Structure 1
Amino acid sequence: MDVVSVIVSIGRCFVDPIKKHCGYLIHYKSNIKNLEDRIGKLHANMDGVQLKIDAAKRNGQVILPVVEWWVEKVRNILHEDAEANKKGLNGWCPRYSLSRKAEKKTLEIDVLLKDGQFSEVSSSPPPLGIGSSSVEGIMDFQSRTKMRKEVLEALRDDKINMIAICGMGGIWKTTMAKEVAKRAKDDKLFDEVVMAVVSQNLDLSKIQGQIADMLGLELKGQSEGGRAKQLYSRLKDIESVLVILDDVWEALDLEAVGIPYGGQHNRCKILLTSRSEEACTQMKTQKIFHIKVLSEEEAWNLFRETAGNCIDTPGLHSIAKEVAKKCGGLPVAIVTVGRALENKSEFEWSAALQQLRKAIPENIPGLDSKVYSSIKLSYDSLKSDEAQSCFLLCCLFPEDSNIPIEHLVRYVMGQRLFAKTDTVAEARNRVHAMVKNLKRSFLLLDSEKGEERVKMHDVVRDFAISIAEKRGFLVRCNETMEEWPEKDSCERSTAISLVSKKLKRHPDGLECPKLELLQLASKINNWDALPLPLPLPLNLFKGMKGLKVLSLFGISFPSLPQSINVLQNLRTLQFVHCELTDVSAIGALTKLEILSFIKSKIKELPREMRNLSHLLLLELTECSDLERIPPDLLSSLSHLEELYMFGVEVKWKPMEEEEKDEEEGANASLTELMSLSYLVVLKIQIPNIKVLPKDLAFKKETIKFQIFASYDKGIDEEDDDLNYLFKNSLGLARCDGEATVGLGAMAPS
């Protein structure tokens, strides 16, 4: 190669890089413009993906990791302040640097735009898991650690298929079982660990459903036998599985549930928790562990953790020590009392100790007397009679129930338990506030069904019943009960709650002059089919003239008995999941303030309801058979504050037929709602926008509304999951090519 060729080659090595770097200056504006365009596209793409993510989360979906990674990368880029650097330009060097960075960032965004074309952003959530222990640190106590190790050792034994943890109520057998489940999963002893609550009122379908949910299995069979076969097959396919059956009261037929046992599947092991050692023995449990109360030292450490640092003050320490001893080492009592006295004064502690010393334990088999005196202290420490009344109402519902707080609201309203409460909304706010306080005191528990439900610990519920009985409550939640309780006990009662699927008849002519609340149910949670009709005797209500609240759950009858006319003091009337034919007698109940037909089979509202001018709340949620509401009925409910009609297919009169004369069988028009001057809550589903008034305006300035227009048959709500704390929303779908109605149509007048 000659000298000229060498020089040319060397020149090329320098010219190309120089040309490239000069290009950053020459193409500065275009590079910056390209970057701005890409950032705009990235913003738009990010907004679209975020909409999909939000929709997926509302439906309980799990966002894919690759989507979360992409969103994080996009957010990092969008947060960079390229504009600030651009505005600070002086000279060529900043132009060069920014142009170079812009080109590099543009290429980076191009990759993200390409990667962000997701066909789906989410997947179904994993099967339900088992929660951790309710109070941090209790499982670290020596007595609990020792038992946990022994239980895990038994589960490792190939010769043992079934073990049990037995003890009194409130000893936290469930907490121990959950901790064992957690350790078993961490140690990989089993491929799957599932848990179901059995409870005193045995429900095989409920048990099957809980296990299936944890396995991610959809049970398609309608009969218990069909569901059992499907569950059995799924469990057999798992190489090793631990099934925890919590709160067993009597021998359970595992085959009927669908749980393989023993030689049917040697690696399917069963862990029971029970108050009844006899039930565990009948189930041929091979090893039973008796869980006992905490030692004095353990109890004191738990009490310190719950009650706080105030117990270390010199004047309080000795009193706190004695209060802790009165809890008898029972975890639920320790936590309940500790929370009730947290950060209280020495005088309050002394008064509490005196109450604990003088309390008379209730004679309920299987419960230590100290438990009741401890829970009574927490109950007595409630700040008002209203809070105590609200707490006692919860014992009207069966054990392990997810108690709808809305039912408490309506019972409180009907019985006038709260002073100076004029509206339903005010009562609802006060009840929710009290429920939160009761949960903080550990007298009530959170429900897995959400914030509008609550649960009551079984020991606390037994205590509540013992107190409520002194106030005239009669609670019999036994689903196998065939007859009403004794006549004398009914006639002395102020409140009666009977839950049974086996009742053969209702009494005729009871004299209950003190009765204010009557709750009759074939079932309250987890509905199956409606029961066979059980006639209500003509004189059932004749001797209940003081009745203020009447709730019927899952009861089928052709018509209300004539004696309902005597209930002139009735303010709350609820039909939940009932099958009704003729309810015209309701028109005679002129003091009625709350009327509910939740999920009941009713075809039309009677004209006689026009007499209910004092009605504050009308509930027709998920009355899917309801087709007709007579004209002028709604407008006659002049004091109506709340109307709930989701999941209803009323054939509303279209707007174009407003001027026509009323025909036989004609329906109401939505324009009637505009005349309701007290209406503050409206939750309604309509078939299409044709029935919606063009200028739907309300007289109240602050109205809470949720309106959904669709040809679909009802809404997609979880069974018995009724929402009363909703936020304003308007969903009007396109129907026959017509445009949706905007939010402006909802403005108050």
Structure 2
Amino acid sequence: MEFFVPLFEVIKCLWGPTSRYLNQHRKLEENVNDLRRKVNDLNIRKQDLELKKEAEIRCRKVVKKEVENWFETVRSTNVEMEKIEMKFRVVSYFSRARLGRFVCRKIEEVERIYQQGSFPEGVAVDGPPATGVTLLTTDLEGRMDVKEQIYEYLRGDDVGMIGVCGMGGIGKTTIMKHINNQLLKENQFDAVIWLTVSREFNVVKLQEDLACALDHCLPKNKLEWPAVLMEILERKRYVLILDDVWEKFALSDVGIPEPASHNGSKLVITSRSIEVCNSMGCKVFKVQPLSQAESWNLFLRQVGDGVLQDPTLKEHVNLIVGECGGLPLAIVTIASSMKGVDDAFEWKNALHELRERVTSVKGSDTIIFEHLKFSYDRLRDSKIQNCFLYCSLYPEDYHIEKEGLIENWIDEELIDELENRQAMHDRGHTVLNKLVNNCLLEKVMIDNVKEGVKMHDVVRDMALSIKRGDHFMVKAGTELEKIPSEHKWKESLEKVSLMNNSISEVLLISPKCPNLSTLLLQKNYFLEKILGSFFEHMHKIKVLDLSHTGIWDLPNSISTLTSLTALILRQCRRLRHMPSLAKLTALRKLDLFNTDIKEVPHGIEMLENLTYLNLYASGLKNLPMGIISRFSKLQVLKAWLNLNGEEAAKLRKLEILLGAFHVLQDFDGYAKSLSSQWPTKYWLRVGSPKTGYLENLPRFDNLENVEIDKEVCFINCKMGNEDFVVLSKDTKTLTVEHCRNLKSLSNISLFCEANELKTCTISWCEEIECVVDLSLSSCNSLQNIEILRLRKLWNLHELVRVAAVASTSHTPTPPGIFTSLKEFYLIGCSSIKKLFPVHLLQGFQHLEHIEVKHCKKLEKIIAEDDEENQNVDRRGSITTFAFPKLKTLHLIKLPELKSICSSGVRIPSESLKYLSIINCSKIRKIPFSISLLETGQPSPLSLELGYVHPKKWWKLVEFDDPNANDILSSLILDYSSEEDEESEPDDSDQ
């Protein structure tokens, strides 16, 4: 029996594998069928997930990586299943068990893959926001139904091209602006592109605008443009809105793919012509006029509910609303012009005037022109009306910068001459507001920076209809390549606008235009030459604008235009030769900014009526003595020339001055001669900059366009003698560069009385030891400084030097030091070791931005005084919080920096948005603190970008607050680019 027990155990051990082997051999067919069912179930789940995936993609979501990996795994499983099927069909008797074993393993694997494909949290995440521009919108009264219909078609697959048609002013553009914004908000497309086509259709301009919207540079060869644009758009799911299309065109000529259901992209055009929409194969939506009730509601929103108080008034209002014909533009414009009118007789008269206009004309465009002209007539003031009409000289749908427009009105003498230029600008803004409030102009933003206005295209058409024919010739922005032929220049012409075209030559013509007062040729970049005979019969011309052209020289016939009051040649970079200006004694404005002239034009001294003179030209070095003082009426002087101080001080009407005094004594003489009568705006450079200074400025072109607001810049001056240098008390920006003998700003007389100083920059001053020396004087001006920049001050040891005191208890806190400071920069100051003393911290309560870079010896950002060092133990656990509003902290390449804060000082980090600590490897402790919520949880941080380097150092530093360690470390990225080894800027940097 004892023999059989081991034998039984051996048989038992062998039987398990043998049994499984026989089972896999015998049940191969059954297992393969089971595997087929499970793979089929797997593919059904895959199909369901693919439907979900497609739905999510249509909503502009991005499929998760794990889902894509799962799809790839299923695809591999199907390939292996095909191989198993092939082997099963040809398997030999002796190989069945081995194949069966593989099939059993595959069954388990497919079951696992099936379970992994559940994805309870969905298959996709939110994608990046759609690219596009959110547009300003107005009321959508009575338009919601058609807007929703269009929107539903954009979301569906049935229609690729939509045409929105209706007469001018009916609300087509307003509807589509609302849809544009909704599409951007709901984020279902990669891009929502808005392009205004306008009446003068031009394929090249449309392609350029489309490329700009797609943020893509087109190749030099224009023949390649359609293919390039087509390729870009085919990779996107987009909505392209073409506003104000006047004629049919082939999409392929532009480079626009034909929208189709398979790509999900859409094209919408708005047009006044239903034929255009139909001919381009669009699903057409015709916008109908508003009903009487809708018209009434829209009118009341503009004019106000006050008209409902008087029953008689209400009756007249109701009749005027009826006369508007349901046209939103007419309703809004007329209502705006009647706002504030509460006299029934005036409303009755308005109704009479409106009826008289509308019944006397025919044609839809003409009818709405008469509605709009009613509002134009109600302006009453002819100068305001002419200001409005002037806006029609710009291209259609052009965004007009406000300040530039007002300057043009002043040049045209449309603004009454007041006591100063600022008063005229104020008057100009008042006129603009009146035109906007009467809905004759619309507010816009230019590049999201400057305020501007634009004319609705129908309003512009109305304005041109008033002056069309023999008075205005407007071909602005129409891609003209040649000047209009001579027969088109009528003798009665008053204003001609050919701006923003591609005119490259002025033919041998001599237009007979004895009444022409304005000729606008700006932004014809290829225009190089004008023949002298062109101006021969334009003796009454007052405003000539040739700015932004490629003109080389002006014809001598310019010298005979004795009525000329404004000659504008800005950015004519090739212009070198100027004819004599001696006879142009009526000239009030001469603008030669960024031309290539080398000498002051001959005869300029005769222009005693000048109120505006811009001589900012990099090649112009000197201004002959005695000339400036002849321009006693000057209000604006901009010149990068050496000004004589006493001579410049004689310009008592000067309001804006951009200029240079090569010698400190000249500036001193100017300042003392002015006493308290400084210009209202100035940017003054004092001293002789090093060779190449201009070229090293960010861009000379933009220097004259900086925001001018009471700035003085000292460059390469000897400033040790405090008897010199008198600053105006209202100086807001002070810059000091390469100045010798200057130990601190306290050496500059009246610096401490410049109580409105907001920005101070000191650079490359080798002898500066401190910014302010309170041992010399108190300094009230520091309490208003908001931005302080210190760069390449190699001998700087401290920010503020405090007078020695008898008491040894602690250093006194100077009153009003840096209490308004928001931004602080310290770059390349190689001697300073300690930055902010603890006793100055109470002055930095508003500091938001700290940037410290390339300071070789800096050891501490916030440092205790020696006496405070001795009293650390006495302070015990008291914590001082520094920089409570800090948003940005950049500490870059500070090899000796050991401490950000002294013991017991912490920096709250709730408001911190940007943090970088790069190559500061001696720091051992991070002093950020995070407050706790009532729940005991740490407050959330607003950190958007955080970089540290090296990462291994960051892992070793200690934190005063453990919560800060946990939260900050999860948000910090390793700054691993080559810039982490950025070298200190060269000492010769300008």
- Tell me the distance in 1 between the aligned counterparts of 2:600 and 2:299: 56
CA distance in 2 between counterparts of 1:640 and 1:714 reads 30
Q: State yes or no: 1:693 paired with 2:634.
A: no
Structure 2: distance between partners of 1:207 and 1:270:
14
**Pair 428,203 (structure 1): closer, same or farther in 2 beyond 3 Å:** farther
Map of 1:728 onto structure 2: 710
| Partner of residue 628, structure 1 | 621
Please give the residue correspondences for 1:27-46 in structure 2 after superposition, counting only pairs within 5 Å.
none
User: 2 CA distance for matches of 1:415 and 1:298?
Assistant: 42
- Following TM superposition, by how much is the alpha carbon of 1:335 offset from its aligned partner in structure 2, in angstroms? 0.3
Which of structures 1 and 2 has the larger relative contact order (alpha carbons within 8 angstroms, sep 6+)?
1
Contact map agreement 1:577 1:599 (CA 8 A) in 2: yes
Which residue of structure 2 aligns with residue 178 of structure 1?
A: 177
Q: Deviations over 1:605-642 (max 9, x none)?
A: 32432222221101356x5x444343334444333210
The equivalent residue for 1:315 is: 312
Q: Distance in 1 between matches of 2:556 and 2:601?
A: 16
1:326-365 equivalent positions in 2, closer than 5 A: 326-344=323-341, 345-359=343-357
Q: Note closer, same or farther for the CA distance 1:424–1:155 as it changes in structure 2 (3 Å cut).
A: same
* Residues 88-99 of structure 1 mapped to structure 2, 5 A cutoff: none
1:678 aligns with 2:662: no
Say whether 1:594 aligns with 2:589: yes
TM-score scaled by structure 1? 0.69
Structure 2: distance between partners of 1:303 and 1:718: 50
- Asked whether the equivalents of residues 129 and 214 of structure 1 are also in contact (C-alpha less than 8 Å), the reply is no
Any conservation in 1 of the 2:316–2:347 contact (CA below 8 Å)?
Answer: yes
Deviation, 1:266, is 1.5
Cα distance in structure 1, aligned partners of 2:193 and 2:134:
7
SS of residue paired to 1:359: helix
Deviations 1:459-478 (A, max 9, x none): 11111112224883332323
The offset of 1:380, in angstroms, is 1.1
Paired residue secondary structure (1:347):
helix
CA contact (8 A) 1:493 1:512 kept: yes
Q: How many residues align?
A: 587
Corresponding residue SS for 1:436: helix
1:707 maps to 2:704: no
Alpha-carbon distance in 1 for matches of 2:696, 2:749: 22
- How many angstroms apart in 2 are the aligned matches of 1:687 and 1:163? 63
Question: Structure 2: how far apart are the matches of 1:594 and 1:337?
Answer: 38
Determine the structure 2 residue equivalent to 1:613: 608
* C-alpha contact (below 8 Å) 2:539/2:563 kept by paired residues: yes
- Structure 2 residue 295 is matched with structure 1 residue 299: yes
- Which structure's residues are more often helix, by fraction? 1
Query: For residue 566 of structure 2, what is the amino acid of its counterpart?
Result: T
- 1:382 is displaced (CA, Å) by 0.9
Q: Structure 1 residues 415, 572: closer, same or farther in 2, change over 3 A? A: same
Q: Give yes or no for the alignment of 1:268 onto 2:250.
A: no
Shift of 1:725: 7.9
**3-state SS of paired residue (1:427):** helix
Give 1:424 deviation, angstroms.
3.1
**Residues of 2 paired with 1:491 and 1:278: CA distance?**
38
**Cα distance in 2 between the residues matched to 1:575 and 1:454:** 24
- Give CA deviations for 1:503-554 in whole Å, capped at 9, x if unaligned: 643564433332222222454xxxxxx3142x32223223222222222244
Deviations 1:71-118 (A, max 9, x none): xxxxxxxxxxxxxxxxxxxxxxxxxxxxxxxxxxxxxxxxxxxxxxxx
Q: Which letter does structure 2 place at the counterpart of 1:596?
A: D
Residue 402 (1) aligns with residue 399 (2)? yes
Distance of aligned partners of 1:720 and 1:246 in 2 relative to their CA distance in 1, 3 Å threshold: farther
Matched position secondary structure for 2:737: coil
1:304 alignment partner, SS class: helix
Residues 406 and 486 from structure 1, CA distance in 2 versus in 1: closer, same or farther, beyond 3 angstroms?
Answer: farther
1:106 equivalent in structure 2: none
Note if 1:511 corresponds to 2:512.
Answer: yes
Q: Which of 434, 438, 441 is the equivalent residue of 1:437?
A: 434
The separation in 1 between residues aligned to 2:697 and 2:302, in whole angstroms, is 44
Q: Which runs of 5+ in 2 are unaligned?
A: 1-128, 713-732, 755-990
8 Å Cα contact 1:567-1:589 kept in structure 2? yes
What is the correspondence of 1:140-155 to structure 2 with a 5 Å cutoff? 141=142, 144-155=143-154
Contact 1:508/1:538 (CA < 8 Å) preserved in 2? no
- Whole-Å Cα distance in 1 between the matches of residues 706 and 190 of structure 2? 41
Residues 146-185 of structure 1 deviation map (CA, whole Å, 9 limit, x = unaligned): 3223212322333532222122222221211122233434
**Shift in alpha-carbon separation, 1:257–1:485, aligned structure 2, 3 A:** same
Residue 716 of structure 2 corresponds to none
> If you compute each CA radius of gyration, which structure gives the higher value, 1 or 2?
2
Q: For residues 222 and 661 of structure 2, what CA distance do their matches in structure 1 show?
A: 36
How far apart are 1:321 and its partner, in Å? 1.4
Distance 2:368 2:378 in 1: 16
Task: For 1:735, give the aligned amino acid.
Answer: E
* Per-residue deviation, residues 479-504 of structure 1 (Å, max 9, x unmatched): 33634265475211222223342464
For residue 156 of structure 2, what is the aligned residue in structure 1? 157
Q: 1:265 to 1:689 in 2, by over 3 A?
A: farther
C-alpha change, 1:155 and 1:408, in structure 2 (3 Å) is closer
SS in 2 for 1:428: helix
Match of 1:583? Answer: 578
2:632 matches 1:638: yes
Q: Give the conservation status (yes or no) of the 8 Å contact 1:558–1:580.
A: yes
Contact residue 505 and residue 527 of structure 2 kept, 8 A: no
> Contact 1:610–1:636 (CA<8 Å) still a contact in 2?
yes
CA change 1:676–1:718 in 2 (3 A) is closer
The whole-number CA distance in structure 2 between the counterparts of 1:706 and 1:290 is 56
Query: Are positions 1:531 and 2:529 aligned together?
Result: no
TM-score, with normalisation over the residues of structure 2? 0.53
Q: What pairs up with 1:536-555 in 2 under 5 angstroms?
A: 536-555=530-549
- The letter for the 1-side match of 2:601 is P
Which residue number in structure 1 is paired with residue 482 of structure 2?
482
Q: For 1:718 and 1:229, how far apart are their aligned partners in 2?
A: 38
Partner of residue 455, structure 1: 454
* CA displacement at 1:295 relative to structure 2: 2.2
Question: Any conservation in 2 of the 1:362–1:466 contact (CA below 8 Å)?
Answer: no
Distance 2:364 2:285 in 1: 19
Asked whether the 8 Å contact 2:569–2:592 carries over to 1, the reply is yes
Contact 2:563 2:586 in 1 (8 A): yes
Of 131, 135, 141, 1:131 maps to 135
Q: For 2:613, what is the secondary structure of its paired residue?
A: strand
CA contact (8 A) 1:361 1:373 kept: no
Measured after TM superposition, the shift of residue 593 of structure 1 is: 0.8
* Contact kept in structure 1, 2:130 and 2:190, CA below 8 Å: no
Contact 2:645 2:661 in 1 (8 A): no
1:587–1:612 Cα contact (<8 Å) kept: yes
Cα-to-partner distance string for 1:569-608 (whole Å, 9 max, x where unaligned): 2211112443422113233312211112345454443243
Structure-1 separation of matches of 2:521 and 2:623: 29
Q: In structure 2, what is the Cα distance between the partners aligned to 1:727 and 1:362? A: 54
How far apart are 1:223 and its partner, in Å?
6.8
Rate the CA distance shift 1:293–1:249 in 2: closer, same or farther, 3 A.
same
Residues 228 and 503 of structure 1, relative CA distance in 2, 3 Å threshold: same
Letter of the structure 2 residue corresponding to residue 520 of structure 1? L
List runs of 5+ in structure 1 lacking aligned partners.
1-124, 524-529, 654-667
CA deviation after TM superposition for structure 1 residue 395, in Å: 1.2
Distance in 2 (CA, whole Å) between partners of 1:204 and 1:421 is: 46
Please give the per-residue CA displacement for 1:698-733, whole angstroms capped at 9, x wherever unaligned.
Answer: 637151224276946487699999869854344554
Per the alignment, residue 76 of structure 1 pairs with: none
**What whole-Å deviation, never above 9, does each CA across 1:256-295 have from its counterpart, x for those lacking one?**
665444479813322222234454455x343222222222
Distance change in 2, residues 1:693/1:522 (3 Å) = closer
Provide the secondary structure at the position in 2 that maps to 1:297: helix
Q: Give the aligned CA root-mean-square deviation in angstroms.
A: 4.0
Q: For structure 1, which segment, 158-167 or 394-403, has the greater mean C-alpha deviation from structure 2 after superposition?
A: 158-167
